[in-house]
Structure 1
């Protein structure tokens, strides 16, 4: 049986996914990957930069999986998909950059508020910039993109750009959805994800 793997956003809050999981099919094995030193996950002395964290997260995905990623988690999901495509059956990206350069998009700078809210989190997590733009066209697995129309951190324009670059993708917009739409609009989001899961069977 295929596994659904959830990747949290920058907060590392694993409980974020619980409302959504309640609406997903029970026959799938489900796993939420925690980020060491974030949320309730214990520190790992071997993780000293973003690359270390990405290697840790992606190494946890060892079997055929469907990835569901929120915000910053989408960077890890995209990386795993183009580096190990045979392990990824489908990809769900929710309100994420997906590893693209956001300079040309009108996005809210989340870093100052984030640092105030999570002062113990490492500075390198907020200053890292990755650019996977050139890799997006190499991703051929089915991709579901879910965005909110009231998200200033990852506006619809970012979702539309990913939809253009990812050839086998479909974009859905949640009316009134902010950056936390996967939690606050869990039932509506699950409707699109369940339809997507049916296409993967």
Structure 2
């Protein structure tokens, strides 16, 4: 049975926006913590398609599309700050009565997970950070001001189209041969709705800077950091710096691996996660 056949997909209204989430139940895992999967920028739950079935063999798994990505609502009225996005995840956990969760955050999703750990540590038992973003400053004022210009979102759309999904994926993986048509279409699908470009324009204005070293040092939740040595999107030096700042963290580095860890090395990621949470 494939992932789509086992998936229970839902839509819920949280913080004045419709959020898509998926619940994968394992009836033998009711006494175990739930894994909550948070994807990265320009991505969706699709990026976890290889890891979800592996985790679901032992655990209940929750995955969501952060607005404005995936199947979640795309609107310029929503505040697309990391603080607000982390509140969406917190509200989802509360609505589903999930008292403790192991958060897995990939890329930007790692920064959202860190915000949740900072603001609601009671909800988090472990942090798994896969090539997590970190130490990014807020967008330059010149770009923020430019985002208010008419047709800025149209220009953003043309720029992203020029980049192309395949080109972006080539920058994210170590082995280009793994990129097939299914992968391209999966990452392309959310951008068929033009409203996403208006939302991304709003995100340029709303996104605050990443958590500082001082804030990170206060997060004592056990954390596993996994990185690809050939990551060109969030280089390994970010992982090493996070490992220094997070007081209760461990860093694992994969050879011949890029940025898309859940796609490139799902079995290895699973093995390291299981070892970490059972320690």
Band the TM-score falls in, shorter-chain normalisation: 0.7 to 0.9
Q: CA deviation at 1:197?
A: 2.1
**What's the offset of the Cα at 1:36?**
2.7
Q: 1:67 to 1:164 in 2, by over 3 A?
A: same
TM-score computed with the length of structure 2 as normaliser: 0.62
- Structure 1 position 41, deviation (Å): 2.0
- Judging changes above 3 Å, is the alpha-carbon distance between structure 1 residues 164 and 72 closer, same or farther for their aligned structure 2 residues? same
In structure 1, what is the Cα distance between the partners aligned to 2:157 and 2:232?
14
CA drift of 1:14 comes to 0.6
Q: 1:55-102 deviations in whole A, cap 9, x for unaligned?
A: 22332233200000000111110011011111110000011124x237
Q: Which residue of 82, 86, 92 maps to 1:60?
A: 92
CA shift, 1:25, in A, is 5.5
Aligned to 2:128: 92
For residues 2-151 of structure 1, the aligned pairs below 5 Å read 2-24=33-55, 26-43=57-74, 47-50=78-81, 51-62=83-94, 63-98=99-134, 100-101=135-136, 116-117=160-161, 118=191, 120-121=196-197, 122-126=200-204, 128-133=207-212, 134-151=214-231
Structure 2: which 5+ residue stretches go unaligned? 1-31, 139-155, 162-190
**Post-superposition offset of 1:18:** 1.8
- What is the rounded CA distance, in whole Å, between the counterparts of 1:114 and 1:141 in structure 2? 41
Relative to the length of structure 1, the TM-score reads 0.84
Deviations 1:10-45 (A, max 9, x none): 123212112112222523211002123312223367
The answer to whether the Cα contact below 8 Å between 2:130 and 2:226 also exists between their aligned partners in 1 is yes
Alignment RMSD (CA, Å): 2.5
Matched residue count: 190
Unaligned 5+ segments in structure 1 are: 104-111
Aligned partners of 1:155 and 1:113: how far apart in 2?
A: 26
Give secondary structure in 1 for the equivalent of 2:269: helix
Give the drift of 1:189: 1.4
* Cα deviation code 1:158-189 (max 9, x no counterpart): 00000001111000001111111221111111
SS of 1:37's equivalent in the other structure is coil
